[in-house]
């Protein structure tokens, strides 16, 4: 079965002094989504942005906004973030004791519902809701910062995630986030991922447009 590759550059690594130009460049380069990392300084040891920045991005780009919530009590923000223009809301299972209710609420608001897991969290925590998910995100770094090193065990976890989605007949997209670059993307694609977040690899490249194309090409080689 042919899998569509989605490249989702991470806003975290963009140049906020020239945000409009950076977002235009991503569109021009054929990026599929814009990944937006929301951090609250509690769930993760870093603080980023909220509804205002999501709304700003919504005005500056047509790319669907893939919002990754690294916050405690994520449900507090669902309404405001969907209103601000989020297309996908992904919540951490570690911060969502009522995962089923929260996933349903995101869908009710009209956004795609995603869940994600820290590297140390078992995939079994999402099995019961897998069929209801629009997206499953496997973290390949401990969340909080861009530019970290890819955790190699994430490849096997991705393969198990693919298997779990198949077993539960889930149609969820399978996304990977953290340390994705030319050196790591192919193994993730082969393990079953279809959606790839990349921050440092794209914005740290001399030619970000070429980098996006190169990352995509490394997946397309083996469907
Ligand atoms: C990490 C964030 C990532 C981050 C990825 O907590 O969830 O989305 O921006 O950045 P790179 O690709 O630089 O690892
Ligand atoms: Zn992220």
Query: Is the minimum distance from the CB of 12 to ligand 1 under 6 angstroms?
Result: yes
Query: Is the minimum distance from the CB of 74 to ligand 1 under 6 angstroms?
Result: no
- What does each C-alpha distance from 135 to 12, 111, 161, 213 come to in angstroms? 20, 11, 11, 23
Q: Which of 90, 145, 154 to mutate to test the pocket of ligand 1 (most atoms within 8 A of CB)?
A: 145
Q: Which of 66, 134, 177, 194 is catalytic?
A: 177
Ligand (nearest to CA of 201): 1
C-alpha 78: how far from its chain's center? 16
Separation of alpha carbons 171 and 196, rounded Å: 17
* pTM, 2 dp: 0.98
Query: Is the minimum distance from the CB of 69 to ligand 1 under 6 angstroms?
Result: no
Measured over all CA atoms, what is the biggest interatomic distance in the chain, rounded to whole angstroms? 46
pLDDT for position 220: 76
pLDDT for position 222: 53
Q: Which atom of ligand 1 is nearest to the CA of 46?
A: 6
Query: Is the minimum distance from the CB of 181 to ligand 1 under 6 angstroms?
Result: no
pLDDT for position 1: 53
Question: CB neighbours (10 Å) of residue 80?
Answer: 14
Q: Which of 22, 37, 66, 194 is catalytic?
A: 37
- Note if 22 is an active site residue: no
Rounded distance from Cα 183 to ligand 2 centre (Å): 19
Query: Is the minimum distance from the CB of 105 to ligand 1 under 6 angstroms?
Result: no
pLDDT for position 23: 98
- Note if 37 is an active site residue: yes
- What does each C-alpha distance from 211 to 9, 62, 157, 202 come to in angstroms? 11, 20, 26, 6
Separation of alpha carbons 187 and 37, rounded Å: 24
Query: Which residues in the chain come in under a pLDDT of 50?
Result: 223
Query: Is the minimum distance from the CB of 197 to ligand 1 under 6 angstroms?
Result: yes
Separation of alpha carbons 169 and 175, rounded Å: 17
Share of the chain above pLDDT 90, in %: 97
Ligand (nearest to CA of 10): 1
| 44 backbone dihedrals φ, ψ, rounded to 5° | -130, 155
Q: Which atom of ligand 1 is nearest to the CA of 148?
A: 14
Q: Which of 3, 67, 59, 8 is nearest to 39 (CA)?
A: 67
């Amino acid at each position: 079965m042919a899998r569509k590759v989605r490249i989702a550059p991470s806003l975290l690594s963009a140049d906020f002094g020239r945000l409009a130009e950076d977002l235009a460049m991503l569109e021009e380069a054929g990026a599929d989504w814009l990944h937006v990392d929301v951090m609250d300084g509690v769930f993760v040891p870093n603080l980023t942005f909220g509804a205002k920045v999501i709304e700003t991005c919504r005005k500056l780009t047509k790319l669907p906004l893939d919002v990754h919530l690294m916050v405690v009590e994520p449900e507090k923000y669902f309404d405001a973030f969907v209103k601000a223009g989020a297309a996908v809301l992904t919540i951490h299972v570690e911060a969502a004791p009522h995962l089923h209710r929260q996933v349903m609420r995101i869908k009710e608001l009209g956004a795609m519902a995603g869940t994600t897991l820290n590297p140390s969290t078992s995939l079994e925590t999402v099995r019961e809701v897998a069929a209801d998910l629009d997206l499953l995100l496997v973290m390949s770094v401990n969340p909080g910062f861009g530019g970290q090193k890819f955790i190699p065990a994430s490849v096997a976890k991705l393969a198990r995630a693919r298997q779990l989605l198949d077993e539960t007949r889930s149609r969820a997209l399978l996304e990977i986030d953290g340390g994705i670059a030319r050196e790591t993307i192919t193994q993730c694609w082969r393990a079953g991922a279809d959606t790839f977040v990349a921050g440092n690899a794209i914005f740290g490249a001399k030619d970000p447009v070429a980098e996006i194309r190169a990352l995509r090409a490394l997946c397309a080689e083996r469907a």
